[in-house]
Structure 1
């Protein structure tokens, strides 16, 4: 599993101009089964996405396809972790350590 941390590197008005395209991309990733949770950070200087999978190259490619990343209004920090414990509703995402 991966934590994708987005940090804005452009003024919020530039980010907001791309929000609709970014959210359509987020929706596509949920539908494709790539993401299990997402939301903005507080304070509003970026966002967090939980992505499933074990292929870092694949997750990096997904992140690079984000309109925010393509237009240079955010930077991604990607952290891989092994989800050995979850709430029952996320049992299918548990991994062996």
Structure 2
């Protein structure tokens, strides 16, 4: 499992200008089966995505995010080798 931590490099107003394209990109990540959960950081300094799949594919997909392409946010991608989950979340161990 991967934690994709986005940190805004520009203001929220600048992020909002690219938000529609970013959200379409997020929806495609869910459609592909890569994204499991996502949301804004509180306070709003970026966001977090929980993902599964191949690291190189996750990295390439993050590089294609409109936020990345427009210099709005940078990504830190952390891989976690989960060993235990609550019942129903075994999918995260992939």
Specify the alignment match of 1:38 in structure 2.
38
2:86 maps to 1:87: yes
Per-residue displacement from partner, 1:70-91 (whole Å, max 9, x unpaired)? Answer: 1110000000111222232222
Specify the alignment match of 1:70 in structure 2.
69
Gap runs ≥5 in structure 2: none
CA distance in 2, matches of 1:92, 1:12: 33
CA distance in 2, matches of 1:87, 1:28: 27
CA distance in 1, matches of 2:9, 2:36: 25
Per-residue displacement from partner, 1:12-47 (whole Å, max 9, x unpaired)? Answer: 111000111100110010010010000000010000
CA distance in 1, matches of 2:19, 2:82: 30
If the length of structure 1 is used for normalisation, what is the TM-score?
0.90
Gap runs ≥5 in structure 1: none
Specify the alignment match of 2:28 in structure 1.
28
CA distance in 1, matches of 2:39, 2:61: 17
Equivalent pairs, count? 94
